[in-house]
Amino acid sequence: AQTVTQSQPEMSVQEAETVTLSCTYDTSESDYYLFWYKQPPSRQMILVIRQEAYKQQNATENRFSVNFQKAAKSFSLKISDSQLGDAAMYFCAYRRGIYNQGGKLIFGQGTELSVKP
Amino acid sequence: GAVVSQHPSRVICKSGTSVKIECRSLDFQATTMFWYRQFPKQSLMLMATSNEGSKATYEQGVEKDKFLINHASLTLSTLTVTSAHPEDSSFYICSARADTSGFYNEQFFGPGTRLTVL
């Protein structure tokens, strides 16, 4: 069975600084996707970034980037120039290829990020 | 972007009553929807996968007769918590997987429903 592990329950960063959130996963599949979701206090889940396993290039979305180490099964999220609005719970998630199991997401435990002004 | 709504956003009910939560994809079709449960400061736990026109697939440990799921159309799935008890109090979140390939078959999440059972 696939598992996703986030070993940092809480992280803190100074505004305008950079922070990295860690995520490891376990799978025997070759076709899968990895995601980072943000859940602010409103509890609305927001997709931050997506990485296809077959792509070697790390995904980037503005201030958010990932370090995808496929062999190590590691998928960390880097937030640059942190802003107060980045404060939220962040979840790492795994999804098998779309033709397997309907594409259900498996979430990590979450990392609560606080941003200090 | 694709929008998913949930209704109601919060509900308080007495123990023993049933509560229905609706999940709608507003601007896209979704053959597949998912229902999650989330306790405070915890992760999302998948309860079941809802497929339009067929029976839902429940995760291990989730009582089918307790959590009834109906996916009657390509834009609506409902979760009914039957004979609710205080331990069913939680935050319930749905997501809808877009059928359109341009969305990478991505899941879009509803805003959640907070259920409190007295």
Q: Is pLDDT above 70 for B104?
A: no
Beta pairing partners, A32:
A96
Output the pLDDT for position B76. Answer: 95
Q: What six digits make up the tokens of A115?
A: 């941003």
- For A87-113, letters b (16+ CB in 10 Å) and e give bbbbbbbbbbbeeeebbbbbbbbbbeb
B46-70 pLDDT per residue, tens = 999 998 888 999 999 999 999 999 9
Minimum Cα–Cα distance from B30: chain A residue: A102
Residues of chain B whose beta carbon is less than 8 angstroms from a beta carbon of chain A are: 32, 34, 38, 41-46, 49, 51, 57, 91, 93, 95, 97, 104-107, 109, 111-112
* Share above pLDDT 90 across residues of chain A, in percent, rounded to a whole number: 84
The overall average pLDDT reported for chain B is 92
Radius of gyration for chain B, computed over Cα atoms and rounded to the nearest angstrom: 14
- Mean pLDDT within A90-108: 82
A39-57 pLDDT per residue, tens = 999 999 999 999 999 898 9
- Higher confidence at residue B99 or residue A91? A91
Note every long-range contact of B23-27, with CB atoms under 8 Å and residues 24 or more positions apart, other chains counting: B23/B76, B23/B77, B23/B78, B23/B79, B23/B94, B23/B96, B23/B110, B24/B75, B24/B76, B25/B74, B25/B75, B25/B76, B25/B96, B25/B98, B25/B108, B26/B2, B26/B75, B27/B2, B27/B3
The overall average pLDDT reported for chain A is 93
Output phi, psi for A28, to 5 deg.
Answer: -110, 0
Output the pLDDT for position A100. Answer: 52
Residues of chain A whose beta carbon is less than 8 angstroms from a beta carbon of chain B are: 33, 42-47, 50, 91, 98, 101-110, 112
Confidence band, pLDDT 50/70/90 cuts, at residue B100 = low
- Mean pLDDT within A79-92: 98
Any idea which of A62-66, A94-98, B56-60 has the lowest mean pLDDT? A94-98
Any idea which of A27-41, A46-60, B101-115 has the lowest mean pLDDT? B101-115
Q: Is pLDDT above 60 for B103?
A: no
Partner residue opposite B93 with nearest CB, options A33, A45, A47: A45
Contacts of B51 in chain A (CB under 8 A): 102
Whose structure tokens read 């986030």? A6
Output the pLDDT for position A45. Answer: 96
Output the pLDDT for position B107. Answer: 87
CA-based nearest distance B103→chain A, Å: 12
Residue B104, CB-side half-sphere exposure with 13 Å CA sphere = 16
Cβ(B37)–Cβ(B91) below 8 Å: yes
Whose structure tokens read 């039957």? B82
Q: Helices marked H in chain B — which ranges?
A: none
Contact assignment for B111 to A43 by CB distance below 8 Å: yes
> Using omega within 30 degrees of 0 as the cis cutoff, is the peptide bond preceding B8 cis?
yes
With the CA atoms of A76, A27, B55 and B96 taken in that order, what torsion angle do they form, in degrees rounded to the nearest 10?
A: 20
How far apart are alpha carbons B90 and B51 in whole angstroms?
23
CA-based nearest distance B1→chain A, Å: 11
Residue B32 burial by Cβ neighbours in a 10 Å radius (0-12, 13-18, 19+): buried
